[in-house]
Structure 1
Amino acid sequence: MAEFVLSRLTESVVSLAVRRLSELLIHEAASLTSVEGDVARLKDELRWIIGFLKDVDRKQERNECFRELIIQVRDVAYDIEDVIDIFIIKISSCYFKTFQLHRIHSQINSIQTRLDGIFRSMQIFGLKFVGEESVSMAELRQNFRRSYPDEDDDVINLEVGMMDLKAQLMKQEDRLCIVSIVGMGGLGKTTLAKKVYNLVDVKHHFDSCAWVFISQTFVPRDVLIEILMQVDSQYCRKIDLNRNKYVREISKKRKDAIENLRTLNVHDLICLLKDELKEKRYLVVLDDIWRIKAWDYIKHAFPKGKKGSKVLFTTRNKEVALLADPSSTPIEPPFLTHEESWELLQRKAFVCDGCPPEFEQLGREMVKKCGGLPLGIVLLGGFLRTKASLGEWKAVQSHMNSYLNKLHTQQQYEGVNEILALSYYDLPYELKPCFLYLGNFPEDWEIPKKKLIRKWIAEGFVRTPTNGEAAETVEDVAELYLRELIDRCMVQVCRRDHTGIGVKTCRLHDLMRDFCMLKAREDNFSEIIQNHESNMRTASASFQNLASYSRRLSIHHPNATDWVKLVHPHLRSLLLFETIYKLPLRNKSFILLRVLELEFSRLSISNHYGSESSRKVKVPREIGNLIHLRYLGLRTANVYKLPNSIGNLRNLLTFDLRQTQVGNIPRSISRLVRLRHLLLPRLWLLNRVFIPYRTGDFHSDKFSNIETLKNIPSETLIRYGALHKLTNLRNLVILIESDIHLVVVLKSPIFASGQLRSLHMITPHRFLSWEPLSSCNVLSKLHLDGKIAEGIRSNCHHFLQHFPASLTKLLLSNSNMKQDPMVVLEKLPSLRFLSLSYFSYSGSRMVCSAHGFPVLETLQLRGLDELEEWRVEEGALANLRELDIQNVHKLKMLPEGLKFLTNLQKLSTYFMMLSFVDRLEIKDGIEGEDYYKVSHVPSVFIGPGWSSAEKASEYLHAAAFLSIFS
């Protein structure tokens, strides 16, 4: 099967080369002159090769000659991309001469000769041209309409395992017990652990709980820090809250908490954690622990604690469980029975309707091949979901008979890989590189959707919508690609966005990630350097052999600086997830980069004199040589100054500068005319006065393609007349610097364009009339930070009535509303998320009336310093699932009406008065007088409380300040 997987991936590689040739013909026609015909002919012949590759798939013959032929095609496509990109660099140089045309002519002739040989081989093998095809938007939308089942659909028959695990965790033993869940990958160990970990009575039983992922790439320091941050929620807040110090100290603590812990060695961290836990009954989950050595590294951090403390393992290795605690009996989840397997397959294959009778026999025969392994069944169900006819199901069964017969042997792991290969093989060729790209992220990494699809676009994986799809953007196409991968159960959803339907973050199961890494390495698609790789002396030669032609490099190794020195000149993407102290941009190996992601690393770049700074970094001017760069992520990378050469990055599509210290945006940024997403540094505020960065001659009016613009001062947009140019904006975060600016912004075409989906406006002044908002019919997310109404006679209700019915997420901060806003807000028909934060409402009473907020799922009440009484009528908030209350220190008790909220799944309270906390807590087995109001809620977290109103008020102001930077 490997030949066919390779051929399908090669289709996508060749398609990318065709796309690059098309771009060259469009954008560089004036420079091509005599070689234009050669380039056009290359493009046509590559399109024919795609057709022949499809015939390889159709024939499905296992032939080593086919494999060699496919590798030749892939290498030719890669070489064409290199020729194009290097040629563009040459013509961009002031030293470009006519002889460069002769050179590219010679290179094209060489490639043409290789293509002629490939064509002859194809004819010898009897391959025929099969017309090109690509997945259409309509097909993806149709699949999406069948997609996104509830993640709980993956769960079958966990009741017995949950009862057993819960009993072991709640058992009162006078020693530290290690409880283990043991089983092969894909059996549901983590699912079982999460179900029990989130039970309300389990959470109440322990004083502190923490969950950390261990994996094969175990780093003791990182694990200890993560546990510390979870078991001691006050770690970052143990500082003097003196009014003269809180701005400086709290902001520093919040930003540097983890960095401060990183300065400690492992021994010190062990001592710190041990001291934190010694007086507590605690539960710490170590998910996916592979070796007993990992436990030996950190076990001394876990004291006996109070009676009943537990550490919970999930592991594939039973020996690890027995060695860690010989007195405990590991829990081993059973494989699913045939009936349970069939039930799970139906849930995944038929999301909306049941299984038609004529499909049942085929389905039951196929599910037997999965051997009761939940992951295999879920993958098979996602695969079958895309097959609508009985004939297609029979074809799948035929494949399974060939490739899945290992599942009844002891080689179940390989069997899962075969299901994965089958699912991967069936993907439209445009989705294959998108799926493999996910393997670049670390194990169990929560991948932000927006960052992922922007990288896909930068790599060229996503096709541009056709004329018939004029209303769609390339980002829309990329999102449909991701939805298709989720629909096929190849990617897991971690968190959904404010609509409740879209994806915010996603992840790969570790077995799927292993498959991605294996295929990516085989096909020179990407190379991942993990933090368990051997030392540089022994590994460098091996790495250079493996990655000499790999187009992408992802480094998770602590010695990232040393690994970067080994990169080769074909590299297109560099993702750094660890500290790098030197980024040698003068190195010609970076010249073809399209993606450079430094967000996850602590960056320090040496200057011209060889000195280094680990705190503040100037980006060297050599960054301007990377003219193919389409994605540049510098978020959190210690950068404080950009060079003027940044304007040379004419192909840049995404530029992320958030959470950097850049104080001056070079005027050359106006040359980045292809930008689609510009995310500028956060704006600072002190005593409600904003200190924006200097923008100089920031000609943002040149950015007609821009869709995302974050943290931009209104003065900049108005000065350059940009408000009339940015008609494609979908996401805007803007600082309104005066009342006049607000009027100008609201009357701009941005609001009349019908494109705006997300709007965040911040002002130290007042928000005045909001009639233009009524016309924003697709506005989904709105965040207003500033005063809405002032004075005794002010009425905020008229203001709020202009909010469009399309809103699904609303955040109001510092609004100073005198009237109860719920009277108006509860009528918004689509609102799923509502946050009233930090002085947004200054009244003492709030009412949620019957039938109000019909679809609201999340409600946050934070920093409402005057609220004393909150009433929830029966029938209100019928769909509420999550309630978060913080710093509402005058609120005496929870409303009686919470007992009617049968869908409420999670309640969290933080920094309330102790009298409020006492009414909810269970102490010595005695329930507080308000506990009955929330006894039905599965997850209840009662955070620390204040003993005095003065301390509560002081902390409230500090928290309000911090909210600006979150």
Structure 2
Amino acid sequence: MAEILALSRFTEAVLSHVVQRISDLLIHEISSLISVKDDVENLQSELRRMQCFLKSAYSMQEQDHQVRNLVAEVRNVACDIEDVIEIFIVKVDDSYFKARHLRNLRKEIDIINARIQSIFASRQNFGIEFVDQPGVLERQRSFRRTYPDDEDDVIGLDHSMMILKTRLLEEKDDSLRVVPIVGMGGLGKTTLAKKVYNDGDVKKHFHCCAWVFISQQYVLRDVLSEILIQVGFSQSQYARNDSEDLLEERKRKREILNTLEEDDLVDSIKDELQEKLYLVVLDDIWRRDDWDNVRKVFPRGVRGSKIVFTTRSKQVALYANPHDCAIEPPFLTPKWSWELLQRKACPRDLFGEFHWSQIERMGKEMVNKCGGLPLAIVVLGGLLRTKRSYDEWQKVQRDVNSYLNNHNHGVEDMLALSYHDLPYYLKPCFLYLGNFPEDSELPREELIQLWIAEGLTTESTTRRRTMEEIAEQYLGELIDRCMIQIVKRDYTGIGVKTCRVHHLLRDFCVSKAREDNFFEVIQQQEENIAAASSSSSTYQTHSRRIAVHPCCCLERRQMHPHLRSLMYFDVSLPSFQDIIRSGKLKLLRVLEFRFSRGTRKCKVPSEIGDLIHLRYLGLRNVGRVKLPSSIGNLRSLSTLNLRHNDEVVLPVEVLRLERLKHLLLPFNTSCSPHSSSYWATYMLSKPTQLQTLKYIRFGPLLLRNKITQSDLKNLRNLGVQFTSGEDVRLFLASPNFRFSMLRSLNMSLLSASAFPNLQPLSECVMLSKLFLDGKISDSQNLKFLPTSLTKLILRDSDISYDPVPVLEKLPSLRFLRLHNSYNGSEMVCGAQGFPRLETLQLFSLRNVTKWRLELGTAMPNLKRLCIKNMPELRIIPEELRYITTLKELMICDVLLYSQVLSWESHVESALSATREIREARREIREWKKLACSIGVLFLVYSIVYSIFVRK
């Protein structure tokens, strides 16, 4: 029954997508479909009838096999309808002889209609009646905006955490110590390691730390690069820009490392770690060979260095360290299990005292079925989290009893039950996560854009909401149900920046998607099996989506006439060009190519213009990308993501993309030389469609006229680079540019001139994020910053007056970075300043000697403070110790040798009430000895601690 329910709901999602797709085609491809408009609309009506049929199939409990086949046939018909219409559009677009294609289409439609009538006749054999169903948006319940926080829900690991922490801090011998954590999937190995890894005492004990994921399909050089990025490496032989921010610095490090061979990476790691006390965590090692491959790169290091790794295999743990017992997280006791379930699922005030005793009884019975496995409990909690009534809890209990009593597969059954409980519109969005390699960290914005391009979101019919807002809701619901983990939150500490799916949930996605023919993943095991079993002859597949993982490739003998989505995570330039030039993938909607290391140039073949159904095109990891003029033929393209390349050359035809919503480019973007004369005359076809436009240069050839003469009223994210203050003035003064919808604005001024009057920014009533890179000489300019700002970055501003008295009055500001932005000597924060600020970063304020906080309640919510490269700063405010919310303090590159003594005294004064300073003193003494030998010391000092408490 549960399998039929899941299949029916998944098929309903497919039907909903095809109905929406037909509506879309009837609007945007009406010139191609005008002759068959009535036939296509009839098919759309039949699909809506079948949606009602599926509603009845949910309740069928007999003849499961037959009903399952019938539901599968409904899905196949829907997919075939989509194929027939889209193939017809492609053929008509390529041909002057439309009559023959029209006759073929009508024959195909007649065949499909016969299949539909057969389905409706078959339903009577099962007694299935039509049931009207409300629209998707009416059935979507609101979900909580506060997501479950895994860091706050660690239960039953105190003893294991104490053992692990003790082993990490001890210094028994000179050899490199290995600490394995072993246990079955979902037991909490990663949670245990992460909790101790982030412990303040542990962070302070080691000179450097790194955390990397291994997984089953790891790429060794990617692991080595990630280790070097985290532990640091010498960049003295490379040119360096001191003004680059943290994200730019990380990106630049990765670009440097991509130029190195694997042996060079190994040597760099050994050089960096040989004289350091280091900690490296390797998450999810599967095999002995994997351990041998990674272990050989680590030197002995300073006495006390450690490697921690998690694994499901006791044999691997014993092999890596035969002398010590591996740490194994315990299964949760019934008491702990119930406590974890309560935190995830059921706030007591939701039910009241009348039902609470019964809710508690049901909850304890259900949680006992999880066998003390934390992941199973978390997933059950996510399922129950959406149930707001006693009756809904009763229904879940019946399902749990029925499903888990008849099976004996542990966590897999709980995952299946939670998947079955998903609303139909969430099922394909959840399964889609299996496309990505294991342990991938998925940026929220990119995931949402891919969901939309794949047609996995349903357009709003009752409220004025964008597809992006609906997709954001879907993501929120999946997080709320604990089906997706939050990896990084945004600058507010509330929203989602990146996310990940647990490897067991991902395995479920891959298996279920293969079963339902939703997508196919080509990874190392599958590739080896296919290579061994395939014949030499070509053959067709029914795959609609394919994801090719690193170290794999598409099988040349396979033909994919139904393919809609291709994601290639490690593609060579010849393979990419062969795929585009093949001419056999004209139904593609999504193309995402991540090129192999060392791809310096990529000239995209002109055949890309034949993919007229393409909605999403993403190319990354290339030195220079050049697009052909045929890119203008992609009339369905919604997202063009070229951001992650060094340089991009655009043809003027990109301005013809009528449905383009998101254009993401590197700053180093130029126009094709042969089309430069046309840029001044071409206009954006439909500028009102644009929502994201970053990063672009504002100049005579590229987008000066396009911005100032276009109505960009729906623009939400904008990043612009200017070469003169006059260009900034033209941009801000443009009568056609409307600021009312703008949420994020990045403006960089490259010249020595200053930003002109910024008064138009005060009209950006919805602006949340603002980045200004360039001089701000007018003392009044900062007063025009909108009060809606939650994130503000000022860089290279050359401000001569203290900006803090103005900035501290921004009522919603949560994140502030001042980077080489103030050349004065003193900063003063008022008594009531920065009421909501959580993160403060002060970088390269080289002339500041004094920073004062006036007595009062300044920065009452500050959690993170980072001070970097402020060589004249002699003291940090004593009042910081009274900010009880402060969790993280980082101070780097701040003092010369002559100031070490005063710094040591201040550290003791400010921190003695909150942390032991033994380690701080030890490091200072070491730096003093070094300073005596070299004369001048730039002290690099980091303190990470759990929380300040009142003295």
TM-score by length of structure 1 reads: 0.88
Where do 1:350-369 residues align within 5 Å?
350=346, 353=349, 356-357=352-353, 358=355, 359-369=359-369
Structure 1 stretch 895-904 or stretch 854-863: which is displaced more? Answer: 895-904
Match of 1:392 in 2: 392
Pair 1:841-2:839 in alignment: no
Match of 1:744 in 2: 730
d(CA) in 1 for partners of 2:825, 2:158: 45
Q: What amino acid is aligned across from residue 224 of structure 1 in structure 2?
A: L
SS of aligned partner of 2:296: helix
Where do 1:855-934 residues align within 5 Å?
855-873=836-854, 875-913=857-895, 915=897, 932=912
Deviation at 1:30, TM superposition (A): 3.9
When residues 722 and 417 of structure 1 are mapped into structure 2, their CA distance, relative to the original with a 3 A threshold, is farther
d(CA) in 1 for partners of 2:167, 2:507: 32
Q: What amino acid is aligned across from residue 564 of structure 2 in structure 1?
A: R
When residues 826 and 949 of structure 1 are mapped into structure 2, their CA distance, relative to the original with a 3 A threshold, is farther
Match of 2:802 in 1: 820
When residues 271 and 346 of structure 1 are mapped into structure 2, their CA distance, relative to the original with a 3 A threshold, is same
Match of 1:676 in 2: 661
d(CA) in 2 for partners of 1:134, 1:219: 45
When residues 866 and 751 of structure 1 are mapped into structure 2, their CA distance, relative to the original with a 3 A threshold, is farther
When residues 841 and 952 of structure 1 are mapped into structure 2, their CA distance, relative to the original with a 3 A threshold, is farther
d(CA) in 1 for partners of 2:635, 2:198: 49
Match of 1:370 in 2: 370
Across the two proteins, how many residue pairs are aligned to each other?
910
Match of 1:443 in 2: 438
When residues 436 and 160 of structure 1 are mapped into structure 2, their CA distance, relative to the original with a 3 A threshold, is same
Match of 2:463 in 1: 469
When residues 638 and 127 of structure 1 are mapped into structure 2, their CA distance, relative to the original with a 3 A threshold, is farther
Question: In the TM superposition, what whole-angstrom CA distance separates every residue of 1:901-937 from its partner, at most 9, and x where no partner exists?
Answer: 32222222333335499579999xx986765487389
SS of aligned partner of 1:578: strand
Deviation at 1:227, TM superposition (A): 2.2
Deviation at 1:553, TM superposition (A): 1.0
Match of 2:622 in 1: 637
CA contact (8 A) 1:882 1:905 kept: yes
Deviation at 1:376, TM superposition (A): 1.3
Deviation at 1:444, TM superposition (A): 1.1
Deviation at 1:729, TM superposition (A): 0.6
SS of aligned partner of 1:16: helix
SS of aligned partner of 2:584: helix
Pair 1:758-2:744 in alignment: yes
d(CA) in 1 for partners of 2:614, 2:368: 49
When residues 776 and 720 of structure 1 are mapped into structure 2, their CA distance, relative to the original with a 3 A threshold, is closer
d(CA) in 2 for partners of 1:580, 1:395: 52
When residues 507 and 278 of structure 1 are mapped into structure 2, their CA distance, relative to the original with a 3 A threshold, is same
d(CA) in 1 for partners of 2:275, 2:52: 69
Residue of 698, 704, 711 corresponding to 2:695: 711
Deviation at 1:3, TM superposition (A): 2.7
Match of 1:832 in 2: 814
Match of 2:326 in 1: 330
d(CA) in 1 for partners of 2:528, 2:306: 36
d(CA) in 1 for partners of 2:878, 2:536: 64
Structure 1 stretch 97-106 or stretch 566-575: which is displaced more? Answer: 566-575
Match of 1:768 in 2: 756
Match of 2:380 in 1: 380
When residues 886 and 927 of structure 1 are mapped into structure 2, their CA distance, relative to the original with a 3 A threshold, is closer
Pair 1:200-2:186 in alignment: no
d(CA) in 2 for partners of 1:5, 1:38: 31
Percent identity, aligned pairs only? 49
Deviation at 1:532, TM superposition (A): 4.8
Deviation at 1:143, TM superposition (A): 1.3
Pair 1:346-2:345 in alignment: no
CA contact (8 A) 2:896 2:937 kept: no
SS of aligned partner of 1:801: helix
CA contact (8 A) 1:644 1:667 kept: yes
Question: In the TM superposition, what whole-angstrom CA distance separates every residue of 1:44-97 from its partner, at most 9, and x where no partner exists?
Answer: 111111111121212244611112112211211111111111111122224242
d(CA) in 2 for partners of 1:42, 1:531: 41
Q: What amino acid is aligned across from residue 12 of structure 1 in structure 2?
A: A
When residues 463 and 820 of structure 1 are mapped into structure 2, their CA distance, relative to the original with a 3 A threshold, is same
Residue of 597, 602, 615 corresponding to 2:596: 602
Pair 1:783-2:771 in alignment: yes
Match of 2:101 in 1: 100
d(CA) in 2 for partners of 1:573, 1:761: 35
Deviation at 1:40, TM superposition (A): 1.5
d(CA) in 2 for partners of 1:920, 1:196: 33
When residues 895 and 921 of structure 1 are mapped into structure 2, their CA distance, relative to the original with a 3 A threshold, is closer
Q: What amino acid is aligned across from residue 896 of structure 1 in structure 2?
A: E
d(CA) in 2 for partners of 1:366, 1:886: 52
d(CA) in 2 for partners of 1:250, 1:310: 27
Residue of 833, 836, 843 corresponding to 1:852: 833
When residues 38 and 490 of structure 1 are mapped into structure 2, their CA distance, relative to the original with a 3 A threshold, is same
When residues 738 and 299 of structure 1 are mapped into structure 2, their CA distance, relative to the original with a 3 A threshold, is closer
Q: What amino acid is aligned across from residue 76 of structure 1 in structure 2?
A: V
Match of 1:727 in 2: 713
Deviation at 1:809, TM superposition (A): 0.4
Deviation at 1:186, TM superposition (A): 1.3
Structure 1 stretch 488-497 or stretch 736-745: which is displaced more? Answer: 736-745
Deviation at 1:451, TM superposition (A): 0.5
Deviation at 1:938, TM superposition (A): 15
d(CA) in 2 for partners of 1:694, 1:782: 32
CA contact (8 A) 2:179 2:308 kept: yes
d(CA) in 2 for partners of 1:86, 1:221: 42
Question: In the TM superposition, what whole-angstrom CA distance separates every residue of 1:572-625 from its partner, at most 9, and x where no partner exists?
Answer: 111121132322212133211101112x32389xxxxxxxxx421211101101
Question: In the TM superposition, what whole-angstrom CA distance separates every residue of 1:654-709 from its partner, at most 9, and x where no partner exists?
Answer: 01122435554212112101000111331489xxxxxx999565523632210111
d(CA) in 1 for partners of 2:134, 2:935: 68
CA contact (8 A) 2:539 2:557 kept: no
Residue of 306, 315, 321 corresponding to 1:310: 306
When residues 45 and 757 of structure 1 are mapped into structure 2, their CA distance, relative to the original with a 3 A threshold, is same
CA contact (8 A) 1:528 1:553 kept: yes
Pair 1:405-2:400 in alignment: no
CA contact (8 A) 1:619 1:639 kept: no
SS of aligned partner of 2:695: strand
CA contact (8 A) 2:625 2:645 kept: yes
Match of 1:44 in 2: 45
Deviation at 1:502, TM superposition (A): 1.9
When residues 857 and 241 of structure 1 are mapped into structure 2, their CA distance, relative to the original with a 3 A threshold, is closer
Question: In the TM superposition, what whole-angstrom CA distance separates every residue of 1:338-367 from its partner, at most 9, and x where no partner exists?
Answer: 222222212112358466341222222212
Where do 1:422-821 residues align within 5 Å?
422-466=417-461, 468-470=462-464, 472-535=465-528, 538-539=531-532, 541=534, 548-560=541-553, 562-563=554-555, 566=558, 568-581=560-573, 582-583=575-576, 584=578, 585-598=580-593, 600-602=594-596, 614-662=599-647, 664-683=649-668, 697-700=681-684, 702-715=686-699, 716-720=702-706, 722-748=708-734, 752-763=738-749, 764=751, 765-789=753-777, 796=779, 798-821=780-803
SS of aligned partner of 2:836: coil
d(CA) in 2 for partners of 1:104, 1:859: 63
SS of aligned partner of 1:98: helix
Structure 1 stretch 886-895 or stretch 188-197: which is displaced more? Answer: 886-895
Structure 1 stretch 27-36 or stretch 380-389: which is displaced more? Answer: 27-36
CA RMSD across the alignment: 3.4
Deviation at 1:318, TM superposition (A): 1.8
When residues 226 and 821 of structure 1 are mapped into structure 2, their CA distance, relative to the original with a 3 A threshold, is same
